[in-house]
Structure 1
Amino acid sequence: MTPDEFIIKWQRSTLKESSAAQEHFCDLCQLLNELTPAAADPTGAFYCFERGAIKTTGGQGWADVWKDGHFGWEYKGKHKDLKAAFVQLHRYAPALNHPPLLIVSDMEQIIIHTAFTGTVPDQYTLTLNDLRDPSKLQLLKWAFSDPEKLRPIDTTAALTERAARQFGEWAEALCQRGHDSAAVAHFSQQLLFCLFAQDIELLPNQLFTRLLENGLKYPAQVEQMLTNLLDTMATGGLFGSEAIDWFNSGLFAEVQPLPLETADLKTLHSFTKLNWSAIEPSIFGTLFERGLDPKQRAQLGAHYTDPNSIMRLVAPVVLMPLRKEWQSVQKEMLQLKTAADAAKSPAVRDKQLTKLRALLTGMLEQLNQFRVLDPACGSGNFLFLALKGLKDLEHEIILAGEQLGLMRAFPTVSPHNVLGIEKNHYAAELARVTVWIGEIQWMLQHGFSLSKNPILKPINIIEQRDAVVNADGSEPEWPTADVIIGNPPFLGGSKKRGLLGDDYFTALETIYAGRVPAGADLVCYWFEKARAQIDIGKARAAGLVSTNSIRGGSNRKVLDQICQTTRIFNAWSDEPWVNDGAAVRVSLISFGEIKTPPVLNDERVAVIYADLTAGSSEIKMDVTTAKQLKENAAVCFMGVSKKGAFDVAGDLARQWLKLPNPHHKSNKLVLRPLCNGIDLTRRNRDVWVIDFGTDMPESEACFYEKPFAYITEEVKPIRQNNNRESYRQYWWRHAEARPGMRAALHNLYRFIATPAVAKYRTFSWLDAIFLADQAALIITRADDSTFGILHSCFHQLWSLKMGTNLGATPRYTPTTTFETFPFPIGLTPADTASNAIETLNSGAIIPSVASEYRAHAIAIAEAAHQLNQLRDHWLNPPEWIDRVPEIVAGYPDRIIAKPEYAAQLKQRTLTNLYNKQPAWLVNAHQQLDQAVAAAYGCSTELSEAEILQQLLQLNLARA
């Protein structure tokens, strides 16, 4: 059949839909050289006419044509309503395996609607005459043979990012002109909803677009026009000749449009060209919030947390338990239906059906009463996804009930199911808008008409307040909910006082004394409050996001308490995440009274410990029960915390070392080479530090003229604005000068240092003249035996297990890592506390220990000394370097690269060495491990789990 023959035949036709639809489709097949359904699929398994389908709104329906993976097709008679046909076809979509194309036709035109998941829908309209155009005919051919060719380029995520960014920039421009940011935020959210309402036709006939076009013609009237429209949306009524539904007096209770310039109106008008009906609420809110909140505008282009990541908490805490319960109820319902159908007595049948209806009603009522609390809800993305999941489950249950012959129910799960607490007023209001938009989208996508009067049901359950500290310093109450989910704020424990202020910090310490350590990250308070809610019966379970550092250090104490009073049943220990626009590493932790087998990192396990590791049925080993050992106390220290620009370049320090001072004392007394994590893992940067010790008064410090003048200019202005009184008062000293560390270093000529955060746990020797900063940890011992034990596989495994993480990189801590580590008996820090040492013929140094442990001390020291020598020779080959004495006695020689080897020497770092793992290094470590294993009285053939189990047993025996 030619296009002309097809066009002429169907232009003349006056047949009704029932008489013409199948013949019209078969003619199309002939025109496109495609097989008809019966020819392509005689069984009708994947391609047929009159495909039966359960509508999303309930009831049995029939799609006129269906081709699996291609299209659902609905016919209407000529000049009938094809919008209604599309809505009807949309209701069939789930039962048709969600075809990527939904096509409607009245035999004079064919409209192809794309329905690819995650894309912004496109629409192609073809009239009969269009079929003469080969390019238009090709569209139909692709629908039959290759629907992927019609996949829209624009994704809903890309559209949402673009819409949020553009609207955020528009709002920012208003703020920059001096408008109050809160007023801009409120006004912007009202306009946002107008754009959305227009695209889903709640505002009829492109009303908002026409208003803006009139505003461009009559700019002096635009403020009044917007006021009239928003006031009408608040109450319902007429806007000109257009009838406006009653939306809600919450979002539109306060109507105060801001004055808009012509450029503002033009930009706003350009927004109407975007498809606001397709925005993704779960990501729009986060991105839009950044545009409205002055503190977050720098993140306008930053990434967001994708919905799939959020579902890793929503699914196990909210949906999976409910689905499991529904499966049990559904099985019982099927048994009752079978019994009713088999019953011979009407009375018996009615009794079974009554029970059946009661089960369905009970399950639906349970969902209606289910409450989800997000006590740090931000712009509402967690709440929206939880609500969407609850509505999907409710819809599934309603359809299942109808298939069993029960009366169709109308969905009742709605915004009343979600509760929120949010301190930021921008986000709190936006969370309500996010939930509203998501609710409306779901209803329309599933073919339901919107309940009205009002359209936007009040959401008074998202409270704007602080979730962990009340204004009066007391502990806030959280509302009762079935479950708690969310992404609480991340703020390191060391930064809390500085960013939150002394009063807030003191309130946290007071309220949560004994429950949350003072040094814990801010997020830990949400974990503790959620645990407490579960403990007193005001919630069943919780699923929260935390920085991955919650697995160790003081943070882990909140997880210890969780494991003592309830259980962790699902967790992801170390995952990428986006927080406030920045890429971070997090732990996702679900805990509470949900009875389900534990799952860690998507694998079933026997038990999940507080450090987010799994226990097995063979080896019972919970290292989180390890205790700090008295024998290890006051040996490992974090370096100084300066809180100011005390660092100076080595060349400048050397200039100052030559200068006299009025009191005849040398600057060498206040200038020291600095060591931080970079110096240890890479190469020494030749950075020095000004150090006035722990108690030098300002009146004495000022005699060191150049160093003092330097910090007066560089440090004093910053420190005098610090929240800590002591930091302000003693601004010329390091904020935390570590007097305990300095006392422990007294009389040592060298000490052991390790980077606080590093890919590999390496230890290095430093001359006692060096001062370590907080990026390095020091062990105040000078013997090779201690050095070797720390570098053994025993301590390596323990440190990885007991330490925390910064991102994906392991972090060493004095308390949980060093002070819990059980050294071999006789070689513990307490046994070597005298600092008395002996130098062996090889040059290795051993501590003074009891005679029965001397052989082990020597073996370990010799192996450690050999390892260190080999490494030093590789790091600083004598042929490549010159050793230059410092200009003042008492400092170690400087290592200077010979010019021809400078580039190669830069690559000689401990990190690069351990990346390479050359055979000599592996062998040296194996020899060291064997010596340490002998001191423990065990074999190096033990598995990692067995080594950790032995160490844990030693720890608990000594604690």
Structure 2
Amino acid sequence: MTPEAFIARWKDNALTERAGAQAHFDDLCDLLGVAKPRDPEHYCFERGAKKSGGGDGWADVWKRGCFGWENKKPGRDLKAALKQLTDYALELENPPLLVVSDRERIEIHTAFTGYPDEPRLIHLADIGQPENLQILRWVFTDPEKLKPTKSLAAITEDAAGKFGSLAEALRERGNPPDQVAHFLTQCLFCMFAEDENLLPRGIFTSLLDKAVDIERATNRIAALFQAMQTGGDYGDAEIRWFNGGLFETVAVPQLMLSDLVTLRAAAHMDWRAIDPSIFGTLFERGLNPKKRSQLGAHYTDPATIMKLVEPVIIRPLMAEWATHRDSIRKLLDKSKKQGDKAYKDANAEFHQFLERLKNYRVLDAACGSGNFLYVALKTLKDIERRVNTEAEQLGLQRQIGIECGPANVLGIELDPYAAELARVTVWIGEIQWMLQNGYPVSDKPILKPLHNIENRDALLNADGTEAQWPKTDAIIGNPPFLGGSKKSGELGKTYFDALNKVYDKDVPGGADLVCYWFDKGRKQILAGDALATGLVSTNSIRGGSNRKVLDAIVSDMVIFDAWADEPWVNDGAAVRVSLVCFGMAGSATRHADVAQTPLRDDSLLPHAGQPISYLDGRSVARINSDLVSTDDVDLTSATRLLENSKTAYLGMKKGGAFDIAKELALAWMTQPNPNGIPNSEVIKPWVNGTDIVKGLQGKWIVDFGNEMPESSASLFEAPFQHVVQHVKPERLLNNREIRRRYWWRFSEPMPAIRSAISDLEHVIVTPRVSKHRIFSWRSSKIIPDDGVGLIARADDTTFGILHSRFHELWSLRMCTWLGVGNDPRYTPTTCFETFPFPAHLTPKDTSGWRGVIPADCLMKAVAEKISAAAEKLNSLREAWLNPPEWVEWVITPEEEKAGFPKRPVAKPGHEADVKKRTLTNLYNARPAWLDMAHKELDAAVAEAYGWMDYTPEMSDEEILRRLLALNLERSAKN
């Protein structure tokens, strides 16, 4: 068929909507040279079942992966047709294109996830134009060709960048940051409102386009904002009532023409395409001077947020609806006609669930700029729309509008910038959803006050008492992370002490700040003020003092969904987190027929109504507090053993720039002091985690011990002067009085370590955070940094046990985790003090061993095997790290006199070779000789345990099961 013939046939065609729809479509297929809809599974007319309440299914035409198509009679409202397709998009498998036509015109709407709708309109008279024929062919054959070039995220990033630059310029000229942020927030909302026709089309853009006089433009902007307060006239235009608090204060900062140019460029963007799921984060970075540096950094995408929203909100609500839907279906099966008792009962049950949705509340008690709140709001509105669709399919009349809205989401946020943006995020998200889904925006006012998003502290009141959270159904969010050791410094001593006073029974003082939100969530559930909680946390919540809040949670309720180790973006930085969802046992219940498009495979589900849990996306019987399934060995019951005490330590915390270069240290050793004592008494080799895995970095440190008075320290002239210059100014500002008073000493000089190693020639060290659990020997003369774990033992037997597969497995399950690389963090209390050493070879037994195993050792023979295997492993490693062909060992007379160890130095020409010889590189490669040396060591340690059935093929879980049994046996005897 030619375009001319097609136009002639369908111009002013009198056929009815029903009679003409399929004939028109078949002719269009002939015109385009594409197949006609004849396959009910992939491409057909009348996709979907007939609706019991009347109507013809979900779409007039449907092609899988391409489009849903709805036809109307010429002159009819195509918006209604588009709304029908939108309502049934889920049932149509979310096609990328939604097409509506009245035979006189064809509108093609893009519906690609994460991209804006870029509609194309083709009139009948223009259908023969080559570009229009190509577009229509792509609808049938290659819809990706019609995908918008810019994603919603890219458009939002672009807009945030423009506003960020403008905010910085305004602040640099002395405008108060809060005034700048509020003004620009008002501007961006105006740009959005005019593009969505909530303001007269182009009114704000036109104001900026015509602005040539700063004072006049300022006055006009202020006048428009004031009109939006209550509604009224602005020039010849009538302005609707917006209010909501956003325009309550009008204070335009001092502007320049360059500012108006930037605003003008931003106004000409399509603000309908702003993505609310990331809007708040990106604009907060631009408007908040404290977060300006994060512009352009990564952000958390909504799909990741859904890993909490799905189990905490969607899953239980859809389980509830599935139960109601089953009951409604049974009632309607009994109904003989619309309006009888069975029909009325079914309708009442439907509206009962709608009322449940209307009153459902979600709290984010650290809501930031509102990303989680928007995703929750959108989720509730999507659920309500879906429930209406399914009720209509059953034979009921769907409700006229959508009642879930901003009142459903509650927030608490300390930062006023973020709190205001959270409100704007929710407002924009609400308006976008309603318009995109064909519903009218609520009016009088357009922006309902959002007092439910509060600007306050979520943990403490101003008087230091515990802050209260409102009663809600679900709690979600991404609370702030702040390690226990940093809390006091970041929060201030007064706030830190108040936290400890209020929460001391439930949250250890050394726990991460995020743990307080977990504790509050648990208490809300126990009090009946919430049903379930889903929070993001640092992944170190699985161990150490942090885990105590999860211990309390699994004691009182269940963790029903968790992702133990996930990538995340926190304040623009890539981090590793744990996602934890918890509630009473019923929170884990999921109906067997909940979702047509579940987040996870429903084939994993047990019987309907049976509580289940998900860990990392797989169904498990139960999740332990270390975020390991009970299908695995539950090491959370392991306890610290007395025989392991006073042996393992973390190194010393400097609390200032005490470290010095090797060359400076060696020079100081030759300088005299008034007291006649060499500087080698107070300068020593310094070892951190990097030194252990990558070789000595040549750093030394000034160490005045834990008792030396200032008067004595001053007699070591050069070291003391260094500390006066580089340490004292910082330490005098420290918020802890003891650190200010003794500024010349380390902030944590660790007298216990000094005492434990005082009579040892060498000690065992391990990097606190490392990809591989590596142990190494170091002279007892070194000073270990707090990034080092130190074991105060000097025997190869202990060294061998620690370097065995058995201790490595134990430590990897008992450790915490850190950093983007998710490296395990070794902690003396959980990794070492809980580990059950072989009988008679515990740290208590080996105390005092010095190379030779005592004759009275009950395990002497096997201890010697372990010692020999350990010595062999270490010798082989040392020969690889520092081959004599490439390395020589040096020491100055002053070092030797002080008892310091020799230092390896690369021979000329071999510097690059030696630099590559690191323990990290060695264990990454794990050559055959290293693997065999470890297996020989493992066999000797297994013999010490009496595991004569041990082979390298023994499973990790079996080893952990046996070790746990030993731990519990010994714990019972203590």
Taking structure 1 as the reference length, the TM-score comes to 0.93
Match of 1:70 in 2: 66
Q: Is structure 2 residue 301 aligned with structure 1 residue 299?
A: no
Q: Is structure 2 residue 880 aligned with structure 1 residue 874?
A: yes
For residues 868 and 356 of structure 1, what CA distance do their matches in structure 2 show? 76
Are 1:720 and 1:731, in contact at CA under 8 Å, matched by a contact in 2? yes
Are 1:498 and 1:723, in contact at CA under 8 Å, matched by a contact in 2? yes
Are 2:559 and 2:580, in contact at CA under 8 Å, matched by a contact in 1? yes
Q: 1:406 offset after TM fit, Å?
A: 2.3
Are 2:795 and 2:849, in contact at CA under 8 Å, matched by a contact in 1? no
Are the structure 2 counterparts of residues 813 and 294 from structure 1 closer, same or farther at C-alpha, using a change threshold of 3 Å? same
Q: Is structure 2 residue 606 aligned with structure 1 residue 633?
A: no
Residues 642-791 of structure 1: pairs in structure 2 closer than 5 A: 642-791=654-803
For residues 128 and 434 of structure 2, what CA distance do their matches in structure 1 show? 39
Match of 2:178 in 1: 182
Are the structure 2 counterparts of residues 60 and 457 from structure 1 closer, same or farther at C-alpha, using a change threshold of 3 Å? farther
For residues 130 and 714 of structure 2, what CA distance do their matches in structure 1 show? 88
Q: Is structure 2 residue 155 aligned with structure 1 residue 149?
A: no
Amino acid of the structure 2 residue aligned with 1:606 = A
For residues 19 and 622 of structure 2, what CA distance do their matches in structure 1 show? 65
For residues 947 and 541 of structure 1, what CA distance do their matches in structure 2 show? 36
For residues 104 and 438 of structure 1, what CA distance do their matches in structure 2 show? 25
Are the structure 2 counterparts of residues 113 and 147 from structure 1 closer, same or farther at C-alpha, using a change threshold of 3 Å? same
Which is further off, 24-33 or 863-872? 24-33
2:628 to 613, 619, 622: 613
Residues 141-540 of structure 1: pairs in structure 2 closer than 5 A: 141-214=137-210, 216-341=211-336, 350-409=340-399, 410-540=401-531
Match of 1:893 in 2: 902
Are the structure 2 counterparts of residues 538 and 51 from structure 1 closer, same or farther at C-alpha, using a change threshold of 3 Å? closer
- Tell me the alpha carbon deviations over residues 285-317 of structure 1, each in whole angstroms, 9 at most, x when there is no partner: 111111121111100111111111111111111
Which is further off, 665-674 or 73-82? 73-82
Q: 1:653 offset after TM fit, Å?
A: 0.9
Q: 1:272 offset after TM fit, Å?
A: 2.2
2:858 to 852, 856, 859: 852
Q: 1:205 offset after TM fit, Å?
A: 2.3
Q: 1:81 offset after TM fit, Å?
A: 6.0
Match of 1:922 in 2: 931
Are the structure 2 counterparts of residues 160 and 104 from structure 1 closer, same or farther at C-alpha, using a change threshold of 3 Å? same
Q: 1:602 offset after TM fit, Å?
A: 0.7
For residues 797 and 660 of structure 1, what CA distance do their matches in structure 2 show? 51
Are 1:826 and 1:850, in contact at CA under 8 Å, matched by a contact in 2? no
Question: What secondary structure sits across from 1:362 in the alignment?
Answer: helix
Are 1:120 and 1:159, in contact at CA under 8 Å, matched by a contact in 2? no
In the alignment, structure 1 segments of 5+ residues that lack a partner are 838-844
Q: 1:900 offset after TM fit, Å?
A: 3.1
Q: 1:761 offset after TM fit, Å?
A: 0.8
Are the structure 2 counterparts of residues 299 and 397 from structure 1 closer, same or farther at C-alpha, using a change threshold of 3 Å? same
For residues 663 and 119 of structure 1, what CA distance do their matches in structure 2 show? 75
Q: 1:28 offset after TM fit, Å?
A: 3.9
Match of 1:938 in 2: 947
Which is further off, 67-76 or 171-180? 67-76
Which is further off, 65-74 or 354-363? 65-74
Taking structure 2 as the reference length, the TM-score comes to 0.92
Question: What secondary structure sits across from 2:340 in the alignment?
Answer: helix
Amino acid of the structure 2 residue aligned with 1:821 = F
Are 2:362 and 2:410, in contact at CA under 8 Å, matched by a contact in 1? yes
- Tell me the alpha carbon deviations over residues 687-732 of structure 1, each in whole angstroms, 9 at most, x when there is no partner: 1111111121222212212222222222222222222222222222
Are the structure 2 counterparts of residues 499 and 655 from structure 1 closer, same or farther at C-alpha, using a change threshold of 3 Å? same
For residues 902 and 278 of structure 2, what CA distance do their matches in structure 1 show? 57
In the alignment, structure 2 segments of 5+ residues that lack a partner are 589-610
Are 2:475 and 2:534, in contact at CA under 8 Å, matched by a contact in 1? yes
Amino acid of the structure 2 residue aligned with 1:891 = F
Question: What secondary structure sits across from 1:896 in the alignment?
Answer: strand
Q: 1:927 offset after TM fit, Å?
A: 1.8
Q: 1:902 offset after TM fit, Å?
A: 2.2
Cα RMSD for the two superposed structures: 2.5
Q: Is structure 2 residue 120 aligned with structure 1 residue 120?
A: no
For residues 713 and 729 of structure 2, what CA distance do their matches in structure 1 show? 17
Are the structure 2 counterparts of residues 847 and 465 from structure 1 closer, same or farther at C-alpha, using a change threshold of 3 Å? farther
Match of 2:606 in 1: none
Q: 1:228 offset after TM fit, Å?
A: 2.0
Are 1:549 and 1:805, in contact at CA under 8 Å, matched by a contact in 2? yes
- Tell me the alpha carbon deviations over residues 733-762 of structure 1, each in whole angstroms, 9 at most, x when there is no partner: 111111110011111111110000011111
Match of 2:32 in 1: 32
For residues 792 and 34 of structure 1, what CA distance do their matches in structure 2 show? 68
Are the structure 2 counterparts of residues 246 and 803 from structure 1 closer, same or farther at C-alpha, using a change threshold of 3 Å? same
Which is further off, 743-752 or 181-190? 181-190
For residues 530 and 78 of structure 2, what CA distance do their matches in structure 1 show? 48
- Tell me the alpha carbon deviations over residues 460-479 of structure 1, each in whole angstroms, 9 at most, x when there is no partner: 11111111122211111111
How many equivalent residue pairs? 938
1:601 to 594, 610, 616: 616
For residues 760 and 869 of structure 2, what CA distance do their matches in structure 1 show? 22
For residues 927 and 309 of structure 1, what CA distance do their matches in structure 2 show? 45
Which is further off, 350-359 or 859-868? 350-359
Question: What secondary structure sits across from 1:899 in the alignment?
Answer: coil
Q: 1:61 offset after TM fit, Å?
A: 7.0
- Tell me the alpha carbon deviations over residues 866-891 of structure 1, each in whole angstroms, 9 at most, x when there is no partner: 11111111111122221222231222
Q: 1:46 offset after TM fit, Å?
A: 4.8
Q: 1:30 offset after TM fit, Å?
A: 3.7
Q: Is structure 2 residue 867 aligned with structure 1 residue 861?
A: yes
For residues 507 and 105 of structure 1, what CA distance do their matches in structure 2 show? 65
Question: What secondary structure sits across from 1:183 in the alignment?
Answer: helix
- Tell me the alpha carbon deviations over residues 426-458 of structure 1, each in whole angstroms, 9 at most, x when there is no partner: 111111111111111211222111221122222
Are the structure 2 counterparts of residues 490 and 796 from structure 1 closer, same or farther at C-alpha, using a change threshold of 3 Å? same
Are the structure 2 counterparts of residues 23 and 328 from structure 1 closer, same or farther at C-alpha, using a change threshold of 3 Å? closer
Match of 1:841 in 2: none
For residues 237 and 904 of structure 1, what CA distance do their matches in structure 2 show? 78
Are the structure 2 counterparts of residues 48 and 806 from structure 1 closer, same or farther at C-alpha, using a change threshold of 3 Å? closer
Q: 1:559 offset after TM fit, Å?
A: 1.0
For residues 913 and 256 of structure 2, what CA distance do their matches in structure 1 show? 61
Are the structure 2 counterparts of residues 234 and 311 from structure 1 closer, same or farther at C-alpha, using a change threshold of 3 Å? same
Are 1:826 and 1:849, in contact at CA under 8 Å, matched by a contact in 2? no
Are 2:88 and 2:389, in contact at CA under 8 Å, matched by a contact in 1? no
Are 1:784 and 1:846, in contact at CA under 8 Å, matched by a contact in 2? no
- Tell me the alpha carbon deviations over residues 354-401 of structure 1, each in whole angstroms, 9 at most, x when there is no partner: 321232122112222221111111111111111211111111112222
Are 1:70 and 1:144, in contact at CA under 8 Å, matched by a contact in 2? yes
- Tell me the alpha carbon deviations over residues 63-83 of structure 1, each in whole angstroms, 9 at most, x when there is no partner: 565444333445566677656
Match of 2:605 in 1: none
Are 2:649 and 2:828, in contact at CA under 8 Å, matched by a contact in 1? yes
Are 1:195 and 1:276, in contact at CA under 8 Å, matched by a contact in 2? yes
